[in-house]
């Protein structure tokens, strides 16, 4: 099992929208509606941002949205804010009761 | 406040054994799976495995099968990650994370703060 593929870094200015992609295969991302996204601020507890491809937990800003097309899932952040600067990881069920993470994307708010 | 409280940082030598813990602060541990996730310094997250505290059933990532073991103590609401023989490559932050109680619960709705394990001679 190889890690899901994410861009190493993305950046955007405050107010803009950015999208982080997460590419897997037909054995993981493409087979199940079970992609989740996590936000990691240094020194803080990781936070669930999106689950089951496109569902947003209560308490998470509606500026965050998830989608999927084929073997690629995406996290979109609209109205970028300084506090969105963090590392973001996608994660997918990969069958056989296993999970796969992406390599992580560092978001920089310019 | 619902939290997963992890044990403190550890410094060990190669070949030593170690058990780190993850305690559910308020909720009943048996109701929700616990996974462990590794983050090597400067690297990404890796799923290691999960345990169902109700019956101690486990699933492991092929990458970690045989090298670590997961367990729980329901009486103390604590999950454990254990090594019998550490390697330098085990140096990492280890997070415990809770799965929600619902169908398709292959994601984490609550994380611990992580335990830094340093293995060095």
**What integer pLDDT is reported at residue A51 of this predicted model?**
97
Nearest Cα residue to A37 out of A95, A86, A97 = A86
Q: Nearest-CA residue of chain A relative to B63? A: A1
**What integer pLDDT is reported at residue B37 of this predicted model?**
98
Q: Nearest-CA residue of chain A relative to B109? A: A48
Joined together, the tokens standing for residue A34 give 């079970």
**What integer pLDDT is reported at residue A2 of this predicted model?**
82
What does the alpha-carbon distance between residue A28 and residue A32 come to, in Å, rounded to a whole number? 6
**What integer pLDDT is reported at residue A72 of this predicted model?**
98
Q: By the 8 A CB rule, do B55 and B36 touch?
A: no
Joined together, the tokens standing for residue B90 give 């085990």
**What integer pLDDT is reported at residue A18 of this predicted model?**
98
- Residue A103 in this model has a pLDDT that exceeds 90: yes
Of the partner residues B62, B106, B111, the one whose CB lies closest to the CB of residue A34: B106
Please report, for chain B, how many H helices and E strands are present, in that order. Answer: 0, 11
Q: In chain A, which residues touch B (CB < 8 A)?
A: 1, 3, 32-34, 36, 38, 44-48, 51-52, 57, 89, 91, 93, 97-104
Tell which wins on pLDDT, A73 or B74: A73
B104 pLDDT band, cuts 50/70/90, is confident
**What integer pLDDT is reported at residue B103 of this predicted model?**
80
pLDDT tens digits for B21-67?
Answer: 999 987 777 779 999 999 999 999 999 999 999 999 999 999 999 99
């Amino acid at each position: 099992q190889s890690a899901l593929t994410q861009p190493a870094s993305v950046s955007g200015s405050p107010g803009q929208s950015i999208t982080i992609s997460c590419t897997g295969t037909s054995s993981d991302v493409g087979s199940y509606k079970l992609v989740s996204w996590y936000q990691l601020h240094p020194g803080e507890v990781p936070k669930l941002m999106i689950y089951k491809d496109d569902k947003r937990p209560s308490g998470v800003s509606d500026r965050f949205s998830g989608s999927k097309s084929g073997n690629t899932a995406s996290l979109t952040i609209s109205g970028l804010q300084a506090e969105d600067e963090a590392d973001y990881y996608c994660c997918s069920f990969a069958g056989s009761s296993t999970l796969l993470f992406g390599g992580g994307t560092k978001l920089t708010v310019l | 406040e619902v939290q997963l409280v992890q044990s403190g940082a550890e410094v060990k030598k190669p070949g030593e054994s170690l058990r780190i813990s993850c305690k559910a602060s308020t909720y009943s541990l048996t109701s929700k799976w616990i996974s462990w996730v590794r983050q090597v310094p400067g690297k990404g997250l890796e799923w290691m495995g999960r345990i169902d505290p109700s019956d101690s059933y486990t699933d492991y990532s092929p990458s970690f099968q045989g090298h670590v073991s997961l367990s729980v103590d329901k009486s103390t609401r604590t999950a454990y990650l254990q090594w019998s023989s550490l390697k330098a490559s085990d140096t990492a932050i280890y997070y415990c994370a809770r799965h929600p109680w619902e169908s398709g619960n292959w994601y984490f709705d609550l994380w611990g703060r992580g335990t830094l394990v340093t293995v060095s001679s």
